[in-house]
A and B are shown apart, each in its own frame.
Chain A
Amino acid sequence: MPDEETVTNETTHLPPWTLEELAEDSLSHAEKGLALEHVRRCTRCHAEVEAHRALFSALASLPSFDPSPGFADAVMQRVTLPVAAPAAVLKRRWLPKTRRGWMTAGVGAMAPLLPLWALLSWVTGSGAAAGSMPGRAWAWFAGAAWSLIVRGAAAFVGSTTWQWLVTTGNDLIGGTRGLSVAAVLFAIAVPVSAWAMVRLLRTPVGMTTHAH
């Protein structure tokens, strides 16, 4: 209990959640300082914190229960131990596990084929019947996709980034190999970055939020 002399007639009290957090020591350092200062002067809040501490302590002291001695054997009798080779386990781990995952993987696999198809259709003039609505739509899409690819590639080759890649490649390796090395590096970097981003987005939010 606080000193009789330090007790004042507080008219406002700390919120219940703050008192609980103080009792389980999960407030930030600054919040804890302020809360303790209030609790030292306020008998009601002090009593509430003590009541919470007593409850938490009583709950924490409750024993754990053991299952019966044959529990582990009973479980293991029903478990099918995997006999798959590590490579097979690895393969399963990389395969999508849900229908949505398979759909995403399918779309991802098809995506690079679409511009290629557009190019072939544009070059050969094949595709849906030329006069029909789908045919015209397809022709427009094929032309737009091809135009996008050609213009995009031209813009990239003309950019300072490309020049920097070529120059750096040439400086590092020498000769014309620099160009192909730069292209290979770029081709590797793009999917690796995408993979890293996906991993980052799938990682759950950090497990700690309470600063002390």
Chain B
Amino acid sequence: MATSELNATTLTDHDLVVRAQKGSEKAYRELLGRYQRPVFSLIYRMVRDREQAEDLAQETFVRVFNNIDRYDPAYKFSSWIFKIATNLTIDWIRRKELPTVSIDGSRYATSNDEIEASTITVESGDENPEELLVSRELGDQIEAAIGKLRPEYRQAIVLRHIDDRPYEEIAQIMALPLGTVKTYIHRGRKELQEMLAHTRV
């Protein structure tokens, strides 16, 4: 066990789940390492609030891990975890009925420190300051446009174009017919193009 535990990074998701079911903390941590970024990014793009996104992402992993013995290997682990993440997020959005988008920090922040702490910094290491500024402005505009989409379109667009999930998996995650998912993505793209018509995109 000890030897194979060392090679956790080379194991498939399914192997890690089997090990997690047997109580291996390292398997849990490897699954966390693989999915914390995509799950957090998806949730953050949906709720546009770092603190809330962290809470929802944490709840997603806790639910998945505490019910790991109920995982059905007939489905991809990624589909399962994204499905739980999106269900939690959509429920939260419906409860809160998010009215606006804020890329510049939490709407609930009441001081400069809180605004700073809840602001997402989007940076890439291989650009000069001028390119970085242009790229950041463009990125912010795209993020803002995504944030203006209906939650269902936003979810489908993020899963398809940012997480690069196939249509069939998105249909599984969103528990919708494939045709409906394609319609959401088509409409989401159209709305994004209209909103970004004035930019380089």
Q: Interface readout for A43-73 with B: 1 if CB under 8 Å, 0 if not?
A: 0000000011011101111111111100110
**Residue B182 lies at the interface, judged by CB distance under 8 Å to chain A:** yes
Is there an interface contact between B36 and A67, defined as CB atoms closer than 8 Å?
yes
- Pairs across A and B, CB under 8 Å, 17 listed: A20-B186, A55-B192, A58-B196, A58-B201, A59-B162, A60-B161, A63-B123, A67-B36, A71-B58, A75-B62, A79-B28, A81-B23, A81-B25, A81-B28, A83-B23, A84-B69, A205-B168
Tell me which residues across on chain A come within 8 A of B38, comparing CB atoms.
Answer: 64
CB A53 to nearest CB in B, in angstroms, measures 10
Is there an interface contact between B40 and A89, defined as CB atoms closer than 8 Å?
no
Interface residues of A (CB under 8 A from B): 16-17, 20, 51-52, 54-56, 58-68, 71-72, 74-76, 78-84, 86, 89, 92-93, 97, 202-209
Tell me which residues across on chain A come within 8 A of B172, comparing CB atoms.
Answer: 204
B interface residues, how many (CB within 8 angstroms) = 55
Give Cα distance in the complex from A182 to B130, angstroms.
81
CB B74 to nearest CB in A, in angstroms, measures 6
**Interface stretch among B6-14, B86-94, B136-144?**
B136-144
**Residue B68 lies at the interface, judged by CB distance under 8 Å to chain A:** yes
Q: In the complex, given contacts A79-B28, A97-B70, A207-B166, what are 9 additional A-B residue pairs having Cβ atoms less than 8 angstroms apart?
A: A59-B161, A60-B164, A66-B36, A75-B61, A81-B28, A82-B21, A89-B21, A89-B22, A209-B167
Is there an interface contact between B189 and A55, defined as CB atoms closer than 8 Å?
yes
Which one, B54, B76, B123, B169, contacts A71 given CB within 8 A?
B54
Is there an interface contact between A68 and B186, defined as CB atoms closer than 8 Å?
no
Give Cα distance in the complex from A61 to B169, angstroms.
21
**Residue B32 lies at the interface, judged by CB distance under 8 Å to chain A:** yes
Given contacts A66-B37, A71-B54, A75-B32, are A55 and B23 in contact (CB under 8 A)?
no
Given contacts A51-B193, A64-B38, are A79 and B23 in contact (CB under 8 A)?
no
**Residue B153 lies at the interface, judged by CB distance under 8 Å to chain A:** no
Is there an interface contact between A72 and B66, defined as CB atoms closer than 8 Å?
no
Which one, A20, A54, A207, contacts B168 given CB within 8 A?
A207
Tell me which residues across on chain A come within 8 A of B20, comparing CB atoms.
Answer: 82
Which one, A54, A59, A75, A89, contacts B157 given CB within 8 A?
A59
Q: Do most interface residues of chain B lie in helix, strand or loop, or is the interface mixed? A: helix
Tell me which residues across on chain B come within 8 A of A62, comparing CB atoms.
Answer: 122, 139, 142-143, 162
Is there an interface contact between B25 and A78, defined as CB atoms closer than 8 Å?
no
CB A160 to nearest CB in B, in angstroms, measures 39
Among residues of A, the one whose C-beta sits closest to the C-beta of B199 is A58
Among residues of B, the one whose C-beta sits closest to the C-beta of A62 is B162
Given contacts A65-B44, A71-B36, are A60 and B162 in contact (CB under 8 A)?
yes
CB B48 to nearest CB in A, in angstroms, measures 11
Given contacts A66-B40, A67-B54, are A92 and B196 in contact (CB under 8 A)?
no
Give Cα distance in the complex from A54 to B199, angstroms.
11
User: Sorted from nearest, which 7 A-B pairs have the closest CB atoms?
Assistant: A59-B161, A67-B40, A79-B65, A75-B61, A64-B41, A78-B62, A65-B41
Q: Name B124-147 residues within 8 Å CB distance of A.
A: 124, 138-139, 142-143
Tell me which residues across on chain B come within 8 A of A64, comparing CB atoms.
Answer: 37-38, 41, 162
Is there an interface contact between A79 and B62, defined as CB atoms closer than 8 Å?
yes
Which one, A17, A67, A81, A97, contacts B182 given CB within 8 A?
A17
Which one, B37, B68, B120, B196, contacts A55 given CB within 8 A?
B196
Is there an interface contact between A17 and B22, defined as CB atoms closer than 8 Å?
no
Is there an interface contact between A71 and B196, defined as CB atoms closer than 8 Å?
no
Is there an interface contact between B29 and A72, defined as CB atoms closer than 8 Å?
yes
Give Cα distance in the complex from A59 to B200, angstroms.
13
Give Cα distance in the complex from A201 to B61, angstroms.
29
